[in-house]
Amino acid sequence: MRALALYGTIGSLIVTALATAPAGGTTQAAGAPPAPVAHRIDFGRCAPVEHLPSSVECGKLTVPLDYARPDGKKIQLTVSRARATAHRERQGSLVFNPGGPGASSLEFPLYGALPKWSRLARAYDFVGYAPRGVGRSAPLSCQDPKEFAKAPTDSRMYPDAAFKRKKRAQAMAYARGCARRAGADLPFYNSVNNARDLDMLRAALGEKKLTFIGASYGTYFGAVYATLYPGHVRRMIFDSVVNPEPRQIWYRNNLDQDIAFERRWGDWLGWVAKHDDHYHLGTTKKAVQQAYDTVAGKLRRHPVDGKIGAGELQSAFLKTGYNDGFWPLRAEALASYLHGDPKPLIAQALPQQTGAKDAENANAVYTAVECNDAPWPRSWRTWDRDNTDVAEIAPFETWDNAWMNLPCAFWPERTQSAAAGVEAAARRVGQGSGQELADAAGHAAATELDGALHGRRLPLDVHTEPGALPPVLLLAAERDAATPYRGALELQRRLPGSSLVTENGAGTHGIGFGENDCVNRYAEAYLLHGKIPAHKVYCAPRAEPVPGEQTTRAQHARPGK
């Protein structure tokens, strides 16, 4: 499952996640090619396709496709900026990444006009950008957008053997499409190169040190950045933290998400049951689940408008796990449909054809980054066993999440041509050899950090010098589903001197500069004054939603499934 794209359309450090070594990744080891020199960005009017007002300026950042060959092929990343509104208070540039992988922050400069960001906008240039592969930044595509957006689709909590065979075939075809369309460039879309691009952006902005907010997936490659360039960090906020434990990236993190989403789904079922006098969907979680299952069955047989099937229903209702601002909206849609009015469901679940190209692009980048970053099981038996086990306790989204990630089972190895790699992986999966995750044969050059380019291997753990990295601020909600709370605890363990602000009992994904003033005060004081709170501090959750209310919460939630 894609981690949420937040905010947008909105000591020592050992991040051993680099042990899984994305293809094209390398540290700046002795004998490695010198880092390329970043040239200042020439900002001007934004292209009409970006749909940004004249108050925002845009430019292009040129970076190597392959940092091991800095004089080789170049790609350009699109960057946006709004200048600090108080010149005498200016502290530099504030760069933001909203997650994904596959999300853009080009709209981030607009946030300075919002009240909760206004004081930061006085002190910082707000800088957004489209990471490599995203939007017009060397865009990736794995499938025709019309085919990707084809509806209706099906979703099954307990798929039978025939359905599984169909999804395996689709995953193999998708991986083949990625390999065909991207060709030799495909391995270079990964988290280590995202971190390197971020340092090129820092230098191109004229900043000696980076001030950065990373949300969701942005916390992961932000941590990779801090590993590679600890001396280049000024201040960093990591909001909704991905678990960086190397054995978790990315296969097991996705299994953990399935369980966490089930808990959040249960939170929503309980809230709806508590308000049965308003929605009339049942007074127990079981009754509300049965109402949902009834609707899914009806849509599977008779899709609404020929476009909303069980798959579209599941995708829309998955958003209840990201932000409780969606709770009243989804409950109203479910109740209205069962009482003969499909209009609210159509408004919330109908696929938007106008956004098909962007959606396909985001999914392609998500897939490429996660498949390139780490080894994935090559055996279908492993996928089937693990997801069947998890679905027994967390059926709501386990299998849909598995189908989204299954192309990684067919992903080409870097030592092979892209097309041959997919075919080789397909044979391994089809043979059902029983390979386990730890035996993923050489996938993505998993035991190297491109040291092989220089005839030597590099250590698998990347260490910074003690004290080189300044204190980092972590933000997390205790019941976050997309990035379970354990990830924040794990990253804090790896970041001596960091501080963790927890929203108690809440499940919102992305808590910074939202509706919790307690969280906002800590984040603002850190960015403006460098004030780091105690090692662990807690904020009370925001109020529970009220049935029938149309809050702004859902407007700030950006589900990325």
Cα–Cα dist 436/439, whole Å: 5
Cα–Cα dist 225/231, whole Å: 10
Cα–Cα dist 424/537, whole Å: 50
Contact, 151 vs 309, CB < 8 A?
A: yes
Q: Which residues contact residue 479 at a Cβ distance below 8 angstroms, ignoring those fewer than 6 apart? A: 260, 263, 264, 267, 485, 505, 506, 507
Distances (CA, A) of 116 to 318, 480, 519, 523, 554: 27, 22, 11, 11, 17
CB atoms near residue 169 (< 10 Å): 11
Cα–Cα dist 97/6, whole Å: 8
Largest Cα span, the chain? 70
Cα–Cα dist 55/539, whole Å: 35
Cα–Cα dist 141/182, whole Å: 7
Cα–Cα dist 121/119, whole Å: 5
Contact, 218 vs 4, CB < 8 A?
A: no
Helix (H, G, I), strand (E, B) or coil at 38: coil
Any idea which residue has 């579209």 for tokens? Answer: 312
Cα–Cα dist 112/53, whole Å: 13
Cα–Cα dist 268/289, whole Å: 10
In the DSSP assignment, the letter for residue 545 is P
> Which of 415, 373, 378, 51 shows the shortest CA–CA distance to 217?
373
Catalytic amino acids?
216, 480, 509
Q: Which residues contact residue 396 at a Cβ distance below 8 angstroms, ignoring those fewer than 6 apart? A: 157, 261, 262, 265, 314, 318
Cα–Cα dist 34/70, whole Å: 8
Cα–Cα dist 461/224, whole Å: 11
Any idea which residue has 């050992």 for tokens? Answer: 14
Q: H or E element: which one contains 486?
A: helix 486-494
Q: Say if strands 92-97 and 536-539 run parallel, antiparallel, or are unpaired.
A: unpaired
3-state SS track over 28-96? CCCCCCCCCCCCCCCCEECCHHHCCCCCCEEEEEEEECCCCCCCCCEEEEEEEEECCCCHHHCCEEEEE
